[in-house]
Amino acid sequence: MTAHDARLVGAYELPYRHAPDKSLAQMQAEAALGAVADAGLSLKDVDGFFCGGDTPGMGPMSLIEYLNITPRYVDSTETGGNSYVSHVARAARAIDAGLCDVALITLAGKPRTPAKGSRPMTDSNKPDQDFELTYHPTVPANYALAAQRHMYEYGTTSEQLAWIKVAASHHAQHNPHALLKDVVTVEDVVNSPMVASPLHRFDCCVITDGGGALILAKSEIAKRLNRPSVKILGTGEAVKHQGAGDIDLTWTAGKWAAEKAWKMSGCTPDQIQYASIYDSFTITVLLEIEDLGFCKPGHGGGFVAEGNLISGKGKLPFNTDGGGLCSNHPGNRGGMTKVIEAVRQLRGEAHPAVQVPDCALALAHGTGGSLGTRHGASTLILARED
């Protein structure tokens, strides 16, 4: 079963994690050129362009000019870090509708140049700031709220959360580009400095420069390319907010997004062989695992503590590139790299030490915004083209 005619035919991740001498436009162009080359195409073939709201310049227009492309269709959907997962679904729909034949999705960011720590979430245009700014919210603090609530409701422990970082580090050791390559233990995580209780430093993702790009093409074109392609079986998107006070921090918008993706694909969680799961913090992964249906609500802690996320050992190998917790979180937006690693797994191109044998079915899931306030979620069910 295939929900879309479009195929994922190209993927490329920028290899560096610190780019002080490069502009965002240069990085976007490098990623774009890498992805079209991976697909066996060129920028001249691109007639659809997709980007997030963080693209430098005047929306997509400046980068379109910089790349010297003339797309028939553009989309600058912005829902935070999951935008690029959503773009895959939107590009597939655009190709199916005949709006374009070859779609390019790009991301580049430089939060590490110069280095920036956590800061108050301020923006003069945000309608919520008058109500929240007085409490000086930061990104880690907002995620810590969700972690505290899950611990209160279900007895989840810091040691259980630590297993998510442990799994990511086991994978990152095999990635030559990962920012953090050292394998860590549960003790290392819980003994690292507290950032926002109950989240420790090792519960938090890395901050890196970097980026990546994806290429989708209609199946007729994909068949002509001398590259393995990936089918898109199911997609889902959702947004969750505070509901005028109706707040439950123990689940995410991923619950709604996943329901749509599972229904469209006809697949079930037990069929997934590999999962790319957004890992801005360890609690993000724990909640998503439950919301995506891999275990029941409240059972995520026990699930990860059994080592189920470690490739070659567990039931659900995840983020085999090291993910945002250890490898790369370009522009503080990790959805792009989640799709890229899922494509690698389905093509059999992940590192041999973490490659899932005969990987035919994978999931990629992104989250954007803040779990403690308002956020978006996007889910993809992907399959290897036989």
Question: What is the H or E stretch that residue 101 is in?
Answer: none
What predicted TM-score, i.e. pTM, was given to this entire model?
0.94
Mean pLDDT of 299-317: 97
- Inter-CA distances, 122 with 112, 113, 203, Å: 19, 20, 24
Q: Report d(CA 244, CA 301) in Å as an integer.
A: 29
Q: What are the structural domain ranges in the chain?
A: 7-114+209-227, 138-205+232-384
Cβ(182)–Cβ(169) below 8 Å: yes
Residue 197 has pLDDT above 60, yes or no: yes
Tokens describing residue 49: 């362009």
Please state, for a pLDDT cut of 90, what percent of the chain lies above it. 85
**CA 244 – CA 130 distance, rounded (Å):** 15
Class (C level, CATH) for 7-114+209-227: alpha beta
Measured between its terminal Cα atoms, the distance across the chain in Å is 12
At 240 the three-state DSSP class reads strand
pLDDT tens profile 106-128: 999 998 887 555 555 555 567 77
Does the domain at residues 138-205+232-384 carry the CATH identifier 3.30.565.10? no
Per-residue confidence (pLDDT) for residue 126, from 0 to 100: 72
Alpha carbon distance 263, 235 (integer Å) = 9
Determine contact, residues 140/196, Cβ cutoff 8 Å: yes
Per-residue model confidence as pLDDT tens digits over 249-276: 999 999 999 999 999 999 999 999 999 9
| More confident call, 230 vs 136 | 230
Strand, coil or helix: what is 200?
strand
Per DSSP, the residues of 325-368 read HHT--BTT--HHHHHHHHHHHHHT-S-TTTPPTT--EEEEEEEE
Of residues 229 and 245, more confidently modeled: 229
Mean pLDDT of the chain: 94
Q: What is the pLDDT of residue 170?
A: 98
> What angle, 0 to 180 degrees and rounded to 10, lies between the N-to-C axes of helices 83-96 and 335-347?
60
3-state secondary structure (DSSP) of residue 107: strand
The 8 Å CB, 24+ separation contacts for 219-223 are 219/5, 219/6, 219/7, 221/9, 221/101, 221/102, 222/7, 222/9, 222/385
pLDDT (tens digit per residue) in 48-104: 999 998 888 888 999 999 999 999 999 999 999 999 999 999 999 999 999 999 999
Burial zone of 172 (CB within 10 Å; 0-12 exposed, 13-18 middle, 19+ buried): buried
Question: Could you tell me if 281 and 204 are in contact, meaning their C-beta atoms sit under 8 angstroms apart?
Answer: yes
Q: How high is the pLDDT of residue 128?
A: 73
Same fold across 7-114+209-227 and 138-205+232-384: yes
**Element holding 250 (H helix, E strand):** none
CB 180 within 8 A of CB 201: no
CA distance 195 to 247: 24
Model pLDDT for residues 321-368, shown as the tens digit of each residue = 999 999 999 988 999 999 999 999 999 999 999 999 999 999 999 999
Distance of CA 135 to the CA centre of its chain: 29
* pLDDT of amino acid 119: 54
204-221 residue pLDDT tens: 999 999 999 999 999 999
Rg (CA), the chain: 19
